[in-house]
């Protein structure tokens, strides 16, 4: 796993959270996990193709997701419905798109496939992947994880 990859996703997340939700993000933890598990209630999986291929899983707690959508919409949200899930999926999609742009600055040409949104805790996102890097980020409305499992095309 290349540092450029995790840094690109971190940089993109920081920028998008700040720009779209006025939220500061900071690294809380970084570690290796044996498999990608949707550890929180609202999850978005984004596939990556190209020089780096695999998948990225964003995992958010329910309350944090509702707060994020509330900040964007100015409306109260009380459940993880299609509207909330779709807004979250689009935020993750935007972050991933920007991360891919940053990766191109490091000469990695990659693409992303549209997000898949999974509501529900502790579902194993089995894609026969190897270990994943799990980055936990801290914000004022909660912590969330970005799991990255990509390989470099030989």
Partner 1 sequence: MWKEKYKIGVERIDQQHEELFRRVEDFIKSVRSEGEWELKQEKVKETLEFMSMYVVTHFADEEKYQQEIHYPGYEEHLQLHIRFKEEVGKYVARFNDTGFDEELVQEFGGKLMAWLIYHVAGADQKIGAYAARLGGGKE
DSSP state of 108: -
Among 41, 59, 89, 150, binds partner 1 (CB under 8 A): 89
> How far is residue 68 from each of residues 9, 12, 78, 82, 100, measured CA to CA in Å?
19, 17, 12, 15, 23
Determine if 112 is a binding residue for partner 1 (CB under 8 A): no
Size of the site for partner 1 (CB under 8 A): 21
Q: Which is nearer to partner 1, 46 or 85 (CB)?
A: 85
- Rounded Cα gap, residues 37 and 14, in angstroms: 23
Among 2, 24, 30, 83, binds partner 1 (CB under 8 A): 83
Q: What share of the chain is helix, strand, coil (3-state, %, to 5)?
A: 35, 35, 30
Determine if 94 is a binding residue for partner 1 (CB under 8 A): yes
Binding site for partner 1 (CB under 8 A): 16, 19-20, 22, 69, 72-75, 81-91, 94
């Amino acid at each position: 796993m290349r540092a450029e990859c995790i840094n690109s996703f971190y940089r993109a997340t920081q920028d998008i959270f700040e720009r779209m939700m006025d939220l500061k993000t900071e690294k809380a933890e970084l570690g290796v996990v044996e498999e990608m598990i949707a550890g929180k209630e609202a999850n978005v999986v984004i596939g990556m193709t190209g020089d780096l291929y695999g998948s990225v899983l964003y995992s958010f707690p329910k309350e944090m997701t509702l707060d994020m959508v509330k900040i964007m919409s100015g409306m109260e949200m009380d459940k993880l419905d299609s509207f909330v899930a779709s807004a979250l999926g689009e935020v993750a999609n935007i972050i991933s798109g920007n991360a891919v742009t940053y990766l191109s600055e490091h000469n990695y040409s990659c693409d992303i496939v549209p997000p898949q949104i999974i509501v529900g805790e502790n579902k194993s996102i089995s894609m026969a992947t190897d270990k994943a890097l799990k980055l936990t980020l801290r914000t004022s409305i909660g912590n969330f994880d970005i799991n990255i499992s990509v390989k470099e095309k030989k």
